[in-house]
Amino acid sequence: MIRGEFDPSDPYPKPWVRVLVSLDGISPIWREVRFLLGTGAARTCLHPRDALALGVPRRSLLGRSTRVKPPIILTSVGGTTEYYGTPATYAFETTTGNLHVVHREILVAKATQTNAALPALLGWDLLRDFHLTMHQDTGSIELEPLAPNIVQVPGTP
């Protein structure tokens, strides 16, 4: 089981989950990213703040690096933006202290004034692999992997 939470400080609490992420081929850095569960988002994506923390070069966010694949154009609450797909590894910490590991693509947004402060979104490309239960009354979220890929963390039972 993977736990998330509703932000109680928000007048309209939103569902969040923390995930360790590494961008394969860009940086060996593992960082915890706080993802908004984007139940209206088809794809999982990073916006500039989190992308920089994960080691994406600033020039890439400005569209100045060479890319193999063309951008994907998406329209959402942040407006229309170019996104670039890159392989990523996601490690969800379970309640037993182990990690549920998923290898998928993540979309990284080209930086704009409107998306600079947007959160990372966990979209249906990943959410479809979980049974999702949200309890707004208790402020808890549970993600149960449909096909667990558990990696034991050293030092855990």
Could you tell me the pTM of the whole model?
0.86
Report pLDDT digits (tens) over 111-155: 888 888 899 999 999 999 999 999 878 889 999 999 878 776 554
- 49 closest CA partner among 37, 39, 59, 61: 61
Domains of the chain in sequence order: 2-151 (2.40.70.10)
H or E stretch at 126: helix 124-127
Among residues 98, 67, 85, which one has the least CA distance to residue 24? 85
- What tens digit of pLDDT does each residue of 36-80 get? 998 888 999 999 999 989 888 777 777 655 455 677 887 766 677
Of 50, 51, 114, residue with least CA distance to 80: 114
